[in-house]
Structure 1
Amino acid sequence: MEIYKIPFRAMACHCEVVIAMQSKDDAHAIAQKAIAEVQRIETKYSRYREDSIVSCINAAAGREAVTCDDETWSLLKYADSLYQVSDGLFDITSGVLRRVWNFKVPQIPAGQDLEQVLELIGWGGVRLEEQRIQLPKAGMEIDFGGFGKEYASDRAASLISHQGVQHGYVNLGGDIRVIGPKPDGQAWMMGIQDPRKKGALTATIPMLAGGLATSGDYERYFEVNGQRYCHVLNPRSGQPVSHWRSVSVLAPLAVVAGNCTTIAMLKETDGLAYLESTGMRYLAIDNEGRMHSDSHSESR
């Protein structure tokens, strides 16, 4: 049995389907189905496409409710549950902050501009009834960027598994879902990027199954007067978080791992207690470079 790696690009990142099979043709055929599923999800939920369901919901903000299909409704209900368990920190209406934060330009937004955008954030005011969603204020938006890649990774891996694949994984820009171990039973070794040394690893985590995700302050950021401003933004203050350099979590699903990392980043100094409460395996690096992990984590 050979291991085949099929690279592709989606969701603005480098992606890869890895499958162990006897036949190269079969491996590539199954991988193409997984890639098509990722592309379907990207097309359906991209805020950059005017015909996506997300854009339709946003366009109706302040005017009318939008009826959702079953998949979209389940994702909205999931977003609602994340809002509740994070005490309002995981808020899919907070994407409007990108109107004042541009991480390609080292510029801190003016206080007045930030205040105007903060008025458009508030999942608690969104109406979810009878499979319909209504954003109460014109200018409000939802954005599935907080869990879209992880959801797609899980969906693609599930599709591959249902095709009979027992060994392999899907990696969407670091959001990983492992289907099963290598053909010889050994774990796949997944590297965790060093948040301060590009191209270097801070740890290697063995995975037999499940999901792995990492959030950090090194993906999109700028520095002003020696202070780092990263793209993970608190929906209440509109300010970048600053306590964690990176948080990685292992969970049964990639989407769960990703949500845990984001919520931990947003909780800042309370992030460690939150990670412990989840019961998940984790590896976190704070703003002073200290490494924190659960008692079961192994790093090499």
Structure 2
Amino acid sequence: MSAPTREIEFKKNSNGWVAQFRAMASPCELLLDSDDESLIQELGNIVAAEAWRIETKFSRYRDDNIVYQINNSQGKAVSVDEETAGLLDFAENAYQLSDGLFDLSSGVLRKLWRFDGSANIPTYEAATALCDNIGWHKVRWQRPLLTLQAGMEIDFGGIGKEYAVDRAATLLKQKTDCAALINFGGDLLATSPPRNAPHWLVGVEQVGGGQSAMIQLKRGGLATSGDANRYLIKDNIRYPHVLNPKTGWPIMNAPRSVTVAAPSCVEAGLIATFAMLAGADADSFLAEQDVLHWIQH
């Protein structure tokens, strides 16, 4: 498979430097509170390389990585490396905590659902049929061996960007004490506040348009889950892209958007996703969590 064009653009702004690139089908950037041009070039290359590495390794769209090997194993055990094993452990824990609603094996539903704003709603029968190939409880995971039933697949899309943000932040902290903000397609992490301000100002897209809400982020992760750009509409009914792996059908009556702040981007993303999976109970779920959050209905 040919590699996508990989370029990094460096820009100077009033607060320092910005490195911009694309990865994981998203605009990505590193904001660095420094006037050192050589430093932003070094760190921008490190951050972009890590994003591209993770994308290459865990993308479901490639035919040369561990995900392809697992998804085409036809019931045979696959031995995975330590990094993949860590993500599988995380996914298994998330499955248990969510009562089976956060399911790494639910990615096969993408074969049925295309959330492109159209009215192309599949049938209940088709969704139910696909559910036969979904369910982490059907997976055998015993480090380092993973065994899927034939016809099943895994998909790291639900945690990939957040994981990449946290990994990039770890690499940055090994190189510099300068304050930085990493933003991969709206999944964020701030290492510390900038020199001349008590916090970073982060815009969160308003559902339905209008001016973005501004959130003050000193340090830690910020992630948003919602259906602002991925949905279907038929007969004036909106079908959001968050799917119930037990039914193969969208979870209705969920908030339009949930944004969560947490110590890491992965934690923020997981809690935001859990809230969407809670549907109409999202408000009460978030009220029980010890995190800052913002809900749009």
Give the TM-score of the pair, scaled to structure 1. 0.91
> For each residue in 1:180-215, what CA deviation from the matched residue of structure 2 results, as whole angstroms up to 9, or x when unmatched?
111124210111111111x631x2110110000001
Paired AA for residue 239 in structure 1: W
Structure 1 residues 69-78 or 104-113, which shifts more? 104-113
Q: Which residue of 2 aligns with 1:276?
A: 287
> For each residue in 1:3-62, what CA deviation from the matched residue of structure 2 results, as whole angstroms up to 9, or x when unmatched?
101111000011111112231121111111111001000000001111111111110142
Q: Which residue of 1 aligns with 2:276?
A: 265
1:253 to 248, 264, 267: 264
CA contact (8 A) 1:20 1:165 kept: no
> Aligned partners of 1:46 and 1:101: how far apart in 2?
19
What runs of 5+ residues in structure 1 fail to find an aligned partner?
Answer: 287-300
Q: Secondary structure at the match of 2:104?
A: coil
RMSD over aligned CA atoms reads 1.4
Q: Secondary structure at the match of 1:108?
A: coil
What runs of 5+ residues in structure 2 fail to find an aligned partner?
Answer: 1-13
Q: Which residue of 2 aligns with 1:222?
A: 232
> Aligned partners of 1:196 and 1:143: how far apart in 2?
29
1:210 to 207, 220, 235: 220
1:154 to 153, 159, 166: 166
Give the TM-score of the pair, scaled to structure 2. 0.91
Paired AA for residue 287 in structure 2: E
1:40 to 53, 56, 77: 53
Structure 1 residues 69-78 or 267-276, which shifts more? 267-276
Query: What aligned pairs does 1:91-130 form with structure 2 within 5 A after superposition?
Result: 91-104=103-116, 105-130=118-143
Q: Secondary structure at the match of 2:67?
A: helix
CA contact (8 A) 2:50 2:164 kept: yes
> Aligned partners of 1:134 and 1:280: how far apart in 2?
35
> Aligned partners of 2:40 and 2:129: how far apart in 1?
51
Query: What aligned pairs does 1:230-249 form with structure 2 within 5 A after superposition?
Result: 230-242=240-252, 243-249=254-260
> Aligned partners of 2:100 and 2:286: how far apart in 1?
17
> Aligned partners of 1:169 and 1:78: how far apart in 2?
25
CA contact (8 A) 1:168 1:182 kept: yes
CA contact (8 A) 1:19 1:165 kept: no
> Aligned partners of 2:108 and 2:91: how far apart in 1?
16
> Aligned partners of 1:112 and 1:239: how far apart in 2?
11
Structure 1 residues 139-148 or 235-244, which shifts more? 235-244
Q: Secondary structure at the match of 2:94?
A: helix
Q: Determine whether 1:189 maps to 2:201.
A: yes
Q: Which residue of 2 aligns with 1:90?
A: 102
> Aligned partners of 2:144 and 2:98: how far apart in 1?
23
> Aligned partners of 2:167 and 2:93: how far apart in 1?
20
CA contact (8 A) 1:93 1:140 kept: yes
Q: Which residue of 2 aligns with 1:58?
A: 71
CA contact (8 A) 2:258 2:272 kept: yes
TM-fit CA distance, 1:121: 0.7
2:152 to 113, 116, 140: 140
Q: Which residue of 2 aligns with 1:169?
A: 181
TM-fit CA distance, 1:111: 2.3
CA contact (8 A) 2:225 2:272 kept: yes
Q: Secondary structure at the match of 2:64?
A: coil
2:43 to 17, 24, 30: 30
> Aligned partners of 2:200 and 2:135: how far apart in 1?
40
> Aligned partners of 2:167 and 2:289: how far apart in 1?
23
